[in-house]
């Protein structure tokens, strides 16, 4: 997708197909002077940890016994540190550089327990929780500080580190309660987070595809 932006005024989404862009002609006037229009491609970005193979295998074992769940493919498991969202193409390099300047020590992560996002008693997704998320929250805040200097939009939601396991299509409440009770003691072996990543998300009709933009090693303890 692209954004057609008028100088200092508003943005207009337009669609593109391959290398051909469908231009939107808008005869706008500001103070009797025609507005200059710019075309920017946008990218959907987020910062995340990727999980080692043993943890991926442990999480995959949770993906059973819940009709109405649309399971996330294990190869797409990740732990979001900071969702950035859609940004204009020219900002990506600045974001990557700003994140690379962070000084953060490596830390241990352990997945323990499961939960759901349940706005208005309508379960939306199932996830695995993090036992002690203080180090992740600290990394999240450092990312916030770096992105704030670039005027990247703040996240509105309170940060809760997790790994998404499934989206719900039409899940029965009693079956969901039974599943949560049966898997409440889930625990995976801890692992050391030695790096974090800036990822790009490509939305396709088969779901999101993730691409690594940059890898950032953490400092050894």
Domain boundaries, the chain: 1-35, 43-217
**What is the Cα–Cα distance from 182 to 196, expressed in whole angstroms?**
32
**Distances, alpha carbon 179 to alpha carbons 57, 98, 111, 127, 160, in Å:** 19, 42, 17, 12, 21
**CATH class for the domain made up of 43-217:** alpha beta
What pLDDT, on the 0 to 100 scale, is given for residue 32? Answer: 47
What pLDDT, on the 0 to 100 scale, is given for residue 163? Answer: 98
Q: How far is CA 4 from the centre of its chain?
A: 24
Whole-prediction pTM: 0.80
- DSSP annotation of 173: H
What pLDDT, on the 0 to 100 scale, is given for residue 1? Answer: 45
SS3 letters for 60-113? HCCCCCCCCEEECCHHHCCEEEEEEEEEEHHHHHHHHHHHHCCCCECEEECEEE
pLDDT, tens digit only, all 221 positions of the chain: 444 443 443 444 444 333 333 334 344 444 444 554 455 688 999 999 999 999 999 999 999 999 999 999 999 999 999 999 999 999 999 999 999 999 999 999 999 999 999 866 788 999 999 999 999 999 999 999 999 999 999 888 899 999 999 999 888 889 999 999 999 999 999 999 999 999 999 988 888 899 999 999 999 98
**What is the Cα–Cα distance from 44 to 89, expressed in whole angstroms?**
10
What pLDDT, on the 0 to 100 scale, is given for residue 19? Answer: 37
Residue 94: which of 217, 198, 203, 209 has the closest Cα? 198
**What is the Cα–Cα distance from 193 to 184, expressed in whole angstroms?**
24
Residue 105: which of 195, 24, 1, 210 has the closest Cα? 195
Read off the tokens for 118.
């349940």
Residue 168: which of 125, 133, 132 has the closest Cα? 125
């Amino acid at each position: 997708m692209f954004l057609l932006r008028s100088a200092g005024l508003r943005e207009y989404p337009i669609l593109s197909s391959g290398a051909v862009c469908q231009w939107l002609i808008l005869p706008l006037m500001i103070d009797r002077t025609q507005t200059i229009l710019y075309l920017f491609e946008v990218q959907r970005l987020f910062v995340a940890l990727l999980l080692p193979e043993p943890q991926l295998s442990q999480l995959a074992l949770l993906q059973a016994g819940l009709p109405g769940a649309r399971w996330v493919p294990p190869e797409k498991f990740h732990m979001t540190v900071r969702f950035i969202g859609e940004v204009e193409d020219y900002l990506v390099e600045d974001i990557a550089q700003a994140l690379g300047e962070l000084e953060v020590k490596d830390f241990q992560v352990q997945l323990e327990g499961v939960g759901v996002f349940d706005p208005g008693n309508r379960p939306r997704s199932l996830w695995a929780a993090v036992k002690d998320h203080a180090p992740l929250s600290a990394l999240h805040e450092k990312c916030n500080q770096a992105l704030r200097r670039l005027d990247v939009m703040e996240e509105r939601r309170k940060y809760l580190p997790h790994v998404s396991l499934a989206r719900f299509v039409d899940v029965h409440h009693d079956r969901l309660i039974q599943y949560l009770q049966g898997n409440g003691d889930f625990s995976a072996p801890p692992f050391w987070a030695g790096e974090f990543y800036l990822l790009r998300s490509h939305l396709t009709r088969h779901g999101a595809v993730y691409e690594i933009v940059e890898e950032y090693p953490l400092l050894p303890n």
